[in-house]
Chain A
Amino acid sequence: MIIAKVKPLEEIKDMVKDYPKVLNVGCAGCTAVCLAGGQKEVDTLNTQLNSSFKADKVSFQVDGFTVERQCEMQFLAELDKIAGQYNAFLSMGCGAGVQFLAERFPRIPVFPAVNTSFVGVNKDIGWYEERCSSCGDCVLGITGGICPVTMCAKGLFNGPCGGPEDGHCEVDKDIPCAWVNIYERLKEQGRLENILKIFPARDWQNQIQGKIILEPYKKRYIK
């Protein structure tokens, strides 16, 4: 899921200091699970902001409201009634949610309170690791479930670079070499011939906004 991390307090304060009444919009989806932007985090941040601005003698009030998910308009609709009371929004959802919020309320400035970091996994409470780069062309089936784009520092597709030492990457000794791991994994599964496959050069252009419209629903949206 999407993992995000809360911005430092100073940065958030700097964003909202000119707006006397702010609504902090939380998200009960991904950012709640990674403990960055759920209800409790919204409440905590609000307490910090209110007391911090009070100490600075700046007139400021922040209220909180958590929606189910900020990436769906039907949940953002809950804010319609109260939006008018605020000068600005602070969003603790991921970047997609912040943008949807801004789209729904184009006249109200929206500020992100978290840094959306990566698509990753919960290794344990408070410990999140990136696993996927959303490259759009998944090869996990061939590499035994280890992503060469994400886990290899150089994103290599055709085997290790010759730099690994003791199974660790030459870029950073703490990172295991992804291709060594891929080799071990495929060996365990008896599929080592996969490693002999040569991948052609990839098109890494990721300039256009990704868009997927599922086939069965296309008819609804085409003019």
Chain B
Amino acid sequence: MYDFIRGPLMWAALVIFVGGLIFRIIQMFQLSKKKERIFFTSTSSGEEQRGGDYSPEERKLRWLVSFSNSIMGNYPILTIITTIFHICLFITPVFLLGHNLFLYESWKIKFFSLPESLTDIMTIIFLLCAIFFILRRIIVPRLRAISSFNDFLLLFITIAPFLTGYLAYHQCFFNYKTMLTLHILAGEIMLMAITFTKLGHIIFFFFTRFHISSEYSLIPGSRVW
């Protein structure tokens, strides 16, 4: 079993992940097209809006208004927790000593790692954030209204690699080999799930917020659906 998930299944997961990534990116480019930009040359009309030089008080007020209407203003706790969640999600696996040793053993690639105590703490924080999400999905009425089994399943799929990795590292519960097998399996399932489920919001987010031009794009985009 261990050899299977360490060998063929790992390659399969990687191929599916990279293949799916490319597929999704191509799909998104195909579904959108270059936008025809409309320009206006700087007008000299007398009654133009403010030129942009605001007093410090005004600047502060404007910032406060746009902040309180933003997502962080409306959901401050959620924003903080999800930011921490996502940071831990990305940084922990990439800079984990265990993973990088594995990488070195397999492909002789040296990669920077964080101290193990730090990644340990980050994993715990991640798991706590995940529990917060689960509870939130059950308790908050507007989320209950649209949540389904899939949402909880995907949360679990995301948690599983971290949980099993933590337990494997600390060698609690089952024996090390079993836990490690489960961990690798969980990681592979998660990689495969990214392109087939809403976990693909990773790719989608960057594409739509940076490429598609809309009222809410983070930079003026150059494409439209």
Contact = CB atoms under 8 A, between A and B. Distances in A.
A and B touch in the complex (CB under 8 A): yes
Contacts of A219: 220
Contacts of A220: 213, 220
B37 to A, nearest CB: 8
Contacts of B41: 222-223
Nearest to B213: A220
A215 B42 contact: no
B130 to A, nearest CB: 36
Interface string A84-110: 000000000000000000000000000
A217 to B, nearest CB: 8
A214 interface: yes
Contacts of A213: 40
Contact of A214 (B37, B42, B49): B49
A222 B39 contact: yes
Interface string A183-223: 00000000000000000000000000001011100011111
A222 B42 contact: yes
Contacts of B220: 219-220
A203 to B, nearest CB: 10
Contacts of A222: 39-42
Nearest to A214: B49
Nearest to B41: A223
B213 to A, nearest CB: 8
Contacts of A215: 49-50, 52
A211 B46 CA distance: 12
A211 B42 CA distance: 13
A171 B41 CA distance: 45
B26 interface: no
B38 interface: yes
A221 B50 contact: no
A213 B48 CA distance: 9
B49 to A, nearest CB: 5
A223 B39 CA distance: 6
A218 to B, nearest CB: 8
B151 to A, nearest CB: 30
Contacts of A223: 39-41
Nearest to B49: A215
A222 B41 CA distance: 6
A221 B49 contact: no
A221 B52 contact: no
A80 to B, nearest CB: 12
Contacts of B50: 215
Nearest to A215: B49
A221 B38 contact: yes
Interface string B14-38: 0000000000000000000000011
Nearest to B51: A215
A107 B37 CA distance: 21
Interface string A141-184: 00000000000000000000000000000000000000000000
Contacts of B213: 220
A219 B39 CA distance: 10
A215 B58 CA distance: 15
Among the interface residues B40, B50, B52, B213, which one has the most CB atoms of the partner chain A within 10 A? B40
Contacts of B39: 221-223
Contacts of A221: 37-40
A221 B50 CA distance: 17
Nearest to A223: B39
A30 B220 CA distance: 30
A215 B53 CA distance: 12
Interface of A: 211, 213-215, 219-223
Given A215-B52, A221-B37, A223-B40, 17 more contacts: A211-B45, A213-B40, A214-B49, A215-B49, A215-B50, A219-B220, A220-B213, A220-B220, A221-B38, A221-B39, A221-B40, A222-B39, A222-B40, A222-B41, A222-B42, A223-B39, A223-B41
11 contacts: A213-B40, A215-B49, A215-B50, A219-B220, A221-B37, A221-B39, A221-B40, A222-B39, A222-B41, A222-B42, A223-B41
Interface of B: 37-42, 45, 49-50, 52, 213, 220
